[in-house]
Amino acid sequence: MYKAKNYKDYDDSTLIKLSQKGDEKAFEEILNRYSNRIINLATRIMGSVDDGWDVAQEVFVSIWKNIKSFDSSKNLYPWIRKITVNACYEELRKRGKGLESSLDDVEEGEPSIDLPDVKYSPEDNYSKIELNEVIEKALETLPEHYRITLWLRAVENLTYEEIAETLNINIGTVKSRINMARKLMRDKLKYYLEVKDESS
């Protein structure tokens, strides 16, 4: 008698093929592998956990509806990521929060503006946690198109080309958005960092 295998042992390609045949357990394993990343990305774009979770639910349904047309020889997550980004943008449009583009036309050759390098002694863990919280709050205040582009670059570690493909924009726009996002973040963190310097 056939003994069911552990779906956790299957690679993505096998799970995709099984899901395309209607195997719900295989699809459940796909969600188990990627649900946290979907929720985190949606939360980052939407700006709240509740909104991120709501969009994630729509993404799960969309993946199930469209997985039959997915090429199982390709990497799965870039496709999932694109569905997630599109679902978030669509929800933001419905809410009247259209993505601004007026500041995107910055010169492509603009130098990258990195966040300041703050060094702490090993015993200063509390300050590290405090700074991380400040960075998180500052990131949440960025316009959606800057926030998601910077998130894809800094957290998802995507190349400019991958970001351009995910967001359906050109590489020059990707670079200008990231540069502007970094500048805005630096401006928002400037006061905090100055206070830390004065108290050190």
Which tens digits make up the pLDDT trace of 72-109?
889 999 999 999 999 998 888 887 754 444 334 333 33
pLDDT digits (tens, 9 = 90+) for 153-171: 888 888 999 999 999 899 9
Residues in the chain: 200
pLDDT at 60: 96
Fold of 7-94: Rna Polymerase Sigma Factor; Chain: A (1.10.1740)
pLDDT digits (tens, 9 = 90+) for 19-39: 999 999 999 999 999 999 999
DSSP three-state, residue 164: helix
pLDDT at 45: 85
Q: What is the mean pLDDT of residues 173-177?
A: 93
More confident position, 25 or 5: 25
Q: What is the mean pLDDT of the chain?
A: 78
Residue ranges matching CATH 1.10.1740.10 in the chain: 7-94
DSSP three-state, residue 92: helix
More confident position, 4 or 68: 68
Q: What is the mean pLDDT of residues 180-184?
A: 89
pLDDT over threshold 90, residue 54: yes
* CA torsion, ordered 37, 43, 46, 48, to nearest 10 deg: 170
Residue ranges matching CATH 1.10.10.10 in the chain: 125-199
pLDDT at 104: 41
Q: C-alpha angle 134/139/145, rounded to 5°?
A: 175
More confident position, 110 or 14: 14
**Which class is 125-199 in CATH?**
mainly alpha
The pLDDT confidence band at residue 68, using thresholds 50, 70 and 90, is: very high
Between CA 114 and CA 84 the distance in angstroms is: 27
pLDDT at 31: 95
pLDDT digits (tens, 9 = 90+) for 135-153: 777 777 788 888 889 888 8
Backbone phi, psi, residue 18, to 5° = -65, -40
pLDDT above 70: percentage of residues in the chain: 74
pLDDT at 124: 44
DSSP three-state, residue 5: coil
